[in-house]
Structure 1
């Protein structure tokens, strides 16, 4: 994960580089980013934690 400032109004970006390190044909790589307000980072980290622990299976957009 890499955090970057998108603009000076408090919008930050989070870049994800994901690799499951599996053997072909099951190997997958993904590179994506999301933009969010700086005050939404706590909510995002809570949702990502639930996603990693498989308590939820999708991360909905932030409100």
Structure 2
């Protein structure tokens, strides 16, 4: 599922995100959503979230579950 719409993302969902430091390489990090940081209903680069694992912050590229 697409990570550009806030309505698609739920707390606890398994997602692939791209961290700020990995934006050039496009390396994805997988984890569970702890907090949704973007307030707008959609964002062209993906909704910004915080993962439960090590409080990593990045933009959702794909929703796994």
Normalization by structure 2: what TM-score?
0.26
**Higher percent of residues as helix:** 1
TM-score by length of 1: 0.27
Higher relative contact order (CA 8 A, sep 6+): 2
Larger radius of gyration: 1
Q: Which has the higher strand share?
A: 2
